[in-house]
């Protein structure tokens, strides 16, 4: 369905834009029909930039993003509007998505006026109520309310309902539960899983490994804008092959172990900036001479790709 091919995003920074910041470097992966793919990485890894490029909110410097062979970067005018009927995004902070002086359900009226002006008010109202029930909201409790009168979980469900009103095919979910309390998180995750069963494809952007493991069939691990590892979620979590992925999984807090015992994994090498070869070179405890050349993701087993020269070597 959605395919990224060597997608790159370069920002001009510094005085008069004299320097380049490679936020995303030659990232390639795909999200199939009715599939949830998790995009995992720490802050600054390029996750949200990829999401914004998919949503046509940020331009692509190089490479391509295709939705069913449709070139996303080339879309303009009515073609872009039609694209947004199929692709929508929900972001981290639900409160920033609403104008506090308007009632929250104004977003539904905006969709009606922009995309479905010929639908009668009664028919539209019935559709809104059905959609709210589909995302677990009681229309009587949430309609005609201001944003401050609703919880973060309710506002996120409002945004998901907004996307569903457009009968979308693809959803970019960018850290959508990081600001929600624990009791609400699982409800939103289960909601996303249910939407997948209804035919929706989802790119789930997160820094939380446990959430990615819970919801996604496949995962992509990003580091400094590059793909470190990708494949079936189960394979990555049970058999991580890239040193960065191994460090991430080892750093997940456990109930049977003190946090300090895990934190020391990262302290072996401190980040100092981009290396000329592997972007993880300056932090990797396994780095050797060949790592001064940029590795490309290699298939070490069916459907499991790792961008690491060491992982590609036969086990000793």
Report pLDDT digits (tens) over 259-306: 554 443 443 433 334 446 888 888 888 888 888 888 888 898 898 999
Average pLDDT over residues 184-209: 85
3-state secondary structure (DSSP) of residue 25: strand
Mean pLDDT score across all residues of the chain: 85
The residues spanned by each domain of the chain are 2-238
pLDDT reported for residue 195: 82
Beta strands in the chain (DSSP E): 2-13, 19-31, 36-40, 62-67, 70-71, 87-90, 170-174, 201-206, 218-223, 226-232, 298-301, 304-306
pLDDT reported for residue 118: 92
Q: How many residues does the chain have?
A: 316
pLDDT reported for residue 275: 44
| Residue whose structure tokens are 């990224």 | 4
Instruction: Please give the span between the terminal C-alpha atoms of the chain, in angstroms, as a whole number.
Output: 39
Q: How confident is the model at residue 4 (pLDDT cuts 50, 70, 90)?
A: very high
Greater model confidence, 172 or 264: 172
pLDDT reported for residue 281: 85
pLDDT reported for residue 219: 96
Looking only at the bridges linking them, the beta strands covering 36-40 and 87-90 are unpaired
Q: How confident is the model at residue 257 (pLDDT cuts 50, 70, 90)?
A: low
Greater model confidence, 198 or 264: 198
The tokens for 176 are 């959508």
Four-residue CA torsion sign, 3, 216, 218, 277: positive
pLDDT one-digit tens code per residue, 45-99: 999 999 999 999 999 999 999 999 889 999 999 999 899 989 999 888 878 888 8
pLDDT reported for residue 167: 81
The tokens for 228 are 């470190």
CATH 3.40.50.920 applies to domain 2-238: no
């Amino acid at each position: 369905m959605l395919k990224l091919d060597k997608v790159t995003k370069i920002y001009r920074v510094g005085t008069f834009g004299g320097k380049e910041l490679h936020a995303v470097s030659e990232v390639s992966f795909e999200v199939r029909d009715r599939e949830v793919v998790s995009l995992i990485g720490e802050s600054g890894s390029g996750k949200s930039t990829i999401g914004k490029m998919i949503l046509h909110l940020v331009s692509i410097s190089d490479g391509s993003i295709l939705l069913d062979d449709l070139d996303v970067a080339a879309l303009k005018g009515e073609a872009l509007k039609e694209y947004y009927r199929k692709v929508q995004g929900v972001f981290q902070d639900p409160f920033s998505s609403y104008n506090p002086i308007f009632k929250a359900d104004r977003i539904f009226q905006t969709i009606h006026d922009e995309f479905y002006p010929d639908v009668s008010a009664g028919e539209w109202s019935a559709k809104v109520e059905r959609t709210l029930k589909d995302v677990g909201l009681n229309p009587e409790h949430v309609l005609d309310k201001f944003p401050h009168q609703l919880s973060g979980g309710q506002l996120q469900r409002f945004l998901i309902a907004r996307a569903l009103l457009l009968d979308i095919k693809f959803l970019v979910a960018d850290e959508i539960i990081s600001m929600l309390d624990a009791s609400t998180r699982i409800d939103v995750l289960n909601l996303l899983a249910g939407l997948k069963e209804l035919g929706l494809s989802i790119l789930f952007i997160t820094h939380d490994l446990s959430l990615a493991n819970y919801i996604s069939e496949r995962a992509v691990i990003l580091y400094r804008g590059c793909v470190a590892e990708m494949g079936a979620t189960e394979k990555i979590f049970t058999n991580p092959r890239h040193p960065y992925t191994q460090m991430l999984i080892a750093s997940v807090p456990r109930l049977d172990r003190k946090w300090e015992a895990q934190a020391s994994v990262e302290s072996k090498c401190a980040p100092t900036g981009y290396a000329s070869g592997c972007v993880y070179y300056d932090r990797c405890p396994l780095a050797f001479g060949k790592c001064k050349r940029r590795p490309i993701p290699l298939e070490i087993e069916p459907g499991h790709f790792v961008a690491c020269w060491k992982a590609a070597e036969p086990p000793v």
